[in-house]
Chain A
C-alpha cells in the first residue's frame, strides 16, 4: 500500500498537457481507480476540455473521477491573511496600523506564485485521502520548475538559518552558565518554528523524489522548440533528484507520426518510456470525444501507471 500517487503532467505551453492529463485521469477512472484531476494552471483548460466550470472544490465528472481548479490568487490571499492575523496578535503595538494594506503588496513578492502552488498541493494531498491517483495538470514550464525547486531552495536557506540560531542558543547557554552558574533553558520559538518549516519542506521534497508517491510525465510535440524545452525539464528534474516516469509525445498532425520515429528527444542512458498519443482527427473536447478516444486508445497510457 503506497497511498496517494501523484502524476505531474509537465510540458511547454500548448503541447497538450491538459488534454493528456484529462485522458490519463479518465483512463484511470475507467479502470475503477478513484482519481482526482487538479488543474494547477491558471489557464483553466480543464473547463474547456470537459466543457463545464470547475472551482477549488472537487466536482464529480464520473463515478471515479473528480476535477478541481486550483485558484492561485485565493491561496496567496488566504496565506497572507493568516500571516497578517498572526502579526497583529503578536505585535500588539502595531494594531493601530492598517496591516492588511501592507500585506496586499506582499502577494506580488517573488516566489509567492510557486509557494501558493506548493501550499495548494500540500492541501490537496492532506484533504483528499480517499483518492488513489492525483493527476496534477501543471502550469507552463518555468513556474512548474520553480514549484519543484522551492523545497530544495527553501531548505538551503533553512539549514543556514537553523545553524545560526543554534549558535545563538549555544552562546546564550554560555552566558547563562557564566552569569548564573547554570544553563537556563529557554524555549526558542524561532528555532522551533524553523524546524517545523524544515520538516514540512523535507516532507514535500521526499514526496517529489519518491517514485512510489510522485511520477512526472512530460508532454511534447514533435517540433524542435517543444523537444528542447522537454530536454531542459529532464535536466532540471534530474538536478533536483526527481525522476521522469514517462515522456508523452502528442501527435497533433497526421504527418508528425512519421517524424517521431526519427526523433531522439530523450537523453542517452535514461530509459524513459515514450508514449505516443495517436493523432485524433476530431478535437478532444467534451466527454463524448474523450471517452471515445479512451475506448479506442485506452491502453496507450499503460506505461504511466
Chain B
C-alpha cells in the first residue's frame, strides 16, 4: 500500500485544502477591506467628473455646451451615479463614517 493510498495522505490533503480555503478567504477579506476606501474615493472622483461635465444641468459652471453634449450619450452610468448620490447628498458625514466603518 503506497503513501498516496493511505489515510494519512487523505487527511493531510483535506487539511491542506482547508488551509488553502481559509487563506484564500482571509486574503479576499483583506483585499476587500483594502479596496473599500479606494472604491469610495473612486466613486467620489467619478461623481466629480459627472458634475464637472454635466454641471450646466444643475446650474454649475460647465465646459462649453458642445463638450457636455458630445459626452452625454456615453455618460449613462455616470448620470445614474449622480442620481444615486442625490439620496445621500443630505448626509455626507454619515456616508463618510460608513466608508471608514466608524460606528
**Chain A residues in contact with chain B, CB under 8 A?**
79-80, 83, 86-87, 89-91, 106, 109-112, 115, 150, 153-154, 157-158, 160-161, 164-165, 167-168, 171-172, 174-175, 178-179, 189-190, 193-194, 197
Contact = CB atoms under 8 A, between A and B. Distances in A.
A179 B78 CA distance: 22
Contacts of A160: 52
Interface residues of B, number: 29
B15 interface: no
B48 A164 contact: yes
A229 B90 CA distance: 50
B76 A150 contact: no
9 contacts: A79-B66, A86-B72, A91-B73, A115-B65, A154-B63, A154-B67, A158-B63, A161-B67, A193-B71
Interface string B36-51: 0011011001101100
Given A90-B74, A110-B65, A150-B64, A171 B42 contact: yes
Contacts, number: 86
Contact of A83 (B31, B32, B49, B72): B72
B52 A161 contact: yes
B53 interface: yes
B99 interface: no
Interface string B49-71: 10011001000000111110111
A109 B69 CA distance: 11
Given A164-B52, A178-B35, A112 B67 contact: no
B24 to A, nearest CB: 11
Contacts of A193: 70-71, 74
